[in-house]
């Protein structure tokens, strides 16, 4: 069951790990690194906003808050106190696809980390008092991150149109009315359905002894009962065949912005990696095509960006620009479109390809420099790349194998005007 020592080449950044399944279905990943007396303990639950009912949006993220409320053996509010009073840090975050909880401790507190996460998985406190408080807190989070934040609403606007027919059409923060209406029994049911060991990955990285850690994992997680298998619906979206134009108004801004967004394949596809390279080519660094042309030469843009908002089932490829000197938004869009057309017509140069590869390698090396980042990247590989934890070690080779022709062809396939949403994002008077 265990696969260890996947050190296949001389690359300094080759990540070694051990992985196995427990009888209750919990997948465990262990990575040893003794350079600092630190251990990261994390659990990735494969549940996000796309698993929510249409009338109960925001549940997955709400849980991320609720599961800090304590357990059968922890009073309300003690979770964070126990972590910080033992010298650790903790947090959690929720996306459309997964919810990720972690603690980082001095390495002599590994066992405490395992106790905390197993308490959370086995019998967390889900009661009216916790629901009521976290309901207010989540509303404040929405005000802070979205309602009061300049340009905070663009994903909501774009995703609503781009992913019609898919739960990606709503945002992880969800609807406050839905959360207000939810009954305690619904929260408990959500927990029983998704917070089961067979839908989770326990990923531990740092200053550990692997055999001892395996024994401790067994000690704390063995009694967590296996749940029913989680079955996810498969969504087949109708292709977008005509350009959709939309407008958003934001009271927090003075400078408008223009967005164009295209629906693209999900994160495990090779095309998603190609799109990542296209992002670097268009807006990664001062010499990227859009920055050079629009920010430096024509000086029409204050900022330009192109990025792949990559998710499990699909992705949103988004380009955006903020005008400088009152340049009309349509002029900006025209300039971005011209660069996309160029990408679809001409091959990029060999030296541009080398540049993209170097940029990727640089960010790849940095992404695995801290234990918590490494624990998450390993869990990501297992959760989202066909249970291939070793994806972390294959990624660089995959990116290096992308050809100039592939870059052109992917641009041709997905970045077309009749497949996109154009969003005019304007100041609210």
Partner 1 sequence: MKKIFIFAIATLFVQSVVAQKLDRSQRPKPGPAPVLTFADPVVYKLSNGITVLVVENHKLPKVSATYSIDAGPITEGAKTGVLSLLGGLMNEGTTTKTKIQFDEAVDQLGADVNVSSRGGSASALTRYFDSAFLLMADALRHPSFPESSFEKLKSQSLTGLKSSERSAKAISGRVVNALAYGVNHPSGEFETEQSINSITLNDVKAAYAKYITPSRGYLTFVGDIKPEAAKALAIKALGDWKGTVLTFPVLTKVQNPAKTEVDVVNVPNAVQSEITVTNLIDLPLNSPDYHAVLLANEILGGGADAKLFRNLREKHGFTYGAYSSNGSGRFQALFKANAAVRNEKVDSAVVEFLHEINVMRTEKVSNDDLQNAKNLYNGSFALGLENPARTAGFASNILINNLPKDFYRTYLQKINAVTADDILRVSKKYFGYDNARVVIVGNQDQFVPGLKKRGFVIKTYDKYAAPVTTTVPEAVKN
Between 290 and 311, CB nearer to partner 1: 290
Token readout for 77 is: 């509010």
| Euclidean distance between CA atoms 341 and 306, whole angstroms | 14
Buried b (16+ CB within 10 A) or exposed e, 304-335: bbbbbbbbbbbbbbbbbbbbbeebebebbbeb
Give the closest residue to 229 by CA, choosing from 261, 264, 207, 200: 200
Q: Which of 6, 210, 244, 253 forms a contact with partner 1 (CB under 8 A)?
A: 253
For residues 264 and 329, which CB has a smaller minimum distance to partner 1 in the complex? 329
- Tell which one of 42, 57, 99, 109 touches partner 1 (CB under 8 A): 109
- Token pair of 62, please? 């709400």
Verify binding: residue 9, partner 1, rule CB under 8 A: no
**Stretch of 29-37, 241-249, 267-275, 380-388 contacting partner 1, by CB under 8 A:** 29-37
Which backbone phi and psi does 104 adopt, to 5 degrees? -120, 125
Q: How far apart are CA 14 and CA 396, in angstroms?
A: 10
Establish if 7 lies at the interface with partner 1 (CB under 8 A).
no
How would you label 379-409 residue by residue, b for 16+ Cβ within 10 Å and e otherwise? bbbbbbbeeebbbbbebbeebeebeeeebbe
User: Interface with partner 1 includes 174 (CB under 8 A)?
Assistant: no
- How far apart are alpha carbons 214 and 144 in whole angstroms? 41
Question: CA-to-CA distance for 352 and 339, rounded, in angstroms?
Answer: 15
Contacting residue, 21, 164, 331, 361, with partner 1 by CB under 8 A: 361
> Applying CB under 8 A, does 371 fall inside the site for partner 1?
yes
**Nearest-approach distance from CB 232 to partner 1, in angstroms:** 30
Q: Which position among 2, 8, 75, 84 is part of the footprint of partner 1 (CB under 8 A)?
A: 84
- Residue 32 as a binder of partner 1 (CB under 8 A): the answer is no
Decide if residue 4 touches partner 1 (CB under 8 A): no
- Dist CA 262 CA 205 (whole Å): 36
CB of residue 131 vs partner 1: minimum separation in angstroms?
Answer: 11
150 binds partner 1 (CB under 8 A): yes
Nearest to 395 by CA among 379, 413, 377, 409: 377
Q: Give least dist CB 353 to partner 1, A.
A: 11
Position among 95, 107, 175, 344 found at the interface with partner 1 (CB under 8 A): 107
Q: Should residue 349 be labelled a site residue for partner 1 when binding is judged by CB under 8 A? A: no
Q: Which residue has the tokens 């934890």?
A: 389
Tokens of 45: 């639950």
Stretch that binds partner 1, among 98-106, 231-239, 336-344, 395-403 (CB under 8 A): 98-106
Report the nearest approach of partner 1 to the CB of residue 189 (Å).
24
Residues 36-55, mask of contacts with partner 1 (x by CB under 8 A) = xxx-----------------
Q: Does 325 bind partner 1 (CB under 8 A)?
A: yes
Where in 211-240 is the site for partner 1 (CB under 8 A)? Answer: 211, 215-216, 218-220, 222-223
The answer to whether residue 88 forms part of the interface with partner 1 (CB under 8 A) is: yes
135 touches partner 1 (CB under 8 A):
yes
**231 close to 208: Cβ distance less than 8 angstroms:** no
Residue 285 near partner 1 by CB under 8 A: yes
Dist. CA 63–CA 95, nearest whole Å: 12
- Distance of closest approach, residue 38 Cβ to partner 1, in angstroms: 5
User: Is residue 1 at the binding interface for partner 1, with CB under 8 A as the rule?
Assistant: no
Which lies closer to partner 1 via its Cβ, residue 10 or residue 234?
A: 10
From the list 44-52, 139-147, 164-172, 376-384, the region that binds partner 1 by CB under 8 A is 139-147
Find out whether 230 and 383 touch, Cβ atoms under 8 Å.
no
Instruction: Name which position in 55, 93, 247, 287 contacts partner 1 (CB under 8 A).
Output: 287
**128 is a site residue for partner 1 (CB under 8 A):** no
Q: How far apart are CA 405 and CA 260, in angstroms?
A: 24
Nearer to partner 1, 16 or 218 (CB): 218
Q: Return the range that interacts with partner 1 (CB under 8 A); candidates 137-145, 161-169, 331-339, 375-383.
A: 137-145
CA distance linking residue 28 with residue 310, whole number of Å: 25
Regarding 93 and contact with partner 1 (CB under 8 A), the answer is: no
**Phi, psi angles (nearest 5°) of residue 31:** -130, 125
- Crossing angle of the two packed helices 391-400 and 371-384, in degrees rounded to 10: 80
């Amino acid at each position: 069951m265990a696969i260890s020592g996947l050190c296949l080449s001389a690359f300094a950044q080759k990540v070694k790990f051990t992985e196995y399944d427990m009888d209750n279905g919990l997948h465990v990943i262990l990575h040893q690194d003794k350079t600092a007396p630190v251990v990261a303990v994390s659990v990735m639950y494969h549940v996000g906003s796309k698993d929510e009912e249409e009338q109960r949006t925001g549940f997955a993220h709400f849980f991320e808050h609720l599961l800090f409320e304590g357990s059968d053996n922890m009073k309300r509010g003690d979770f964070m106190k126990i972590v910080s009073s033992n010298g650790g840090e903790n947090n959690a975050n929720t996306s459309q696809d997964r919810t990720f909880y972690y603690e980082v401790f001095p390495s002599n507190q590994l066992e405490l980390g395992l106790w905390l996460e197993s308490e959370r998985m086995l019998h967390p406190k889900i009661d009216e008092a916790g629901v009521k408080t976290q309901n207010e807190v989540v509303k404040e989070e929405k005000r802070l991150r979205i309602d009061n934040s300049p340009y905070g609403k663009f994903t909501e606007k774009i995703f609503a149109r781009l992913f019609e027919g898919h739960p990606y059409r709503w945002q992880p923060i969800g609807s406050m009315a839905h959360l207000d209406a939810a009954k305690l029994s619904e929260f408990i049911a959500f927990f029983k359905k998704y917070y089961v060991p067979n839908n989770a990955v326990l990923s531990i990285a740092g200053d550990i002894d692997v055999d001892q850690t395996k024994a401790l994992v067994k000690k704390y997680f063995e009694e967590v009962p296996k749940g029913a298998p989680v079955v996810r619906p498969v969504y087949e979206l109708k292709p977008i065949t005509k350009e959709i134009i939309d407008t958003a108004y934001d009271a927090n801004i003075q400078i408008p912005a223009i967005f164009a967004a295209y629906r693209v394949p999900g994160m495990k596809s090779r095309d998603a990696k190609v799109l990542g390279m296209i992002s670097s080519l268009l807006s990664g660094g001062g010499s990227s095509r859009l920055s050079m042309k629009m920010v430096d030469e024509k000086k029409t843009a204050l900022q330009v960006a192109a990025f792949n908002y990559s998710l499990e089932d699909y992705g949103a490829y988004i380009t955006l620009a903020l005008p400088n000197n009152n340049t009309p938004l349509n002029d900006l869009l025209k300039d971005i479109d011209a660069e996309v057309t160029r990408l679809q017509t001409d091959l990029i140069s060999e030296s541009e390809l080398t540049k993209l590869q170097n940029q990727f390698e640089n960010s790849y090396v940095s992404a695995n420099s801290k234990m918590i980042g490494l624990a998450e990247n390993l869990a990501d590989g297992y959760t989202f790349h066909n249970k291939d934890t070793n994806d972390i070690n294959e990624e660089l080779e995959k990116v290096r194998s992308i050809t100039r022709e592939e870059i052109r062809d992917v641009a041709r396939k997905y970045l077309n005007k009749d497949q996109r949403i154009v969003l005019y994002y304007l100041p609210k008077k």
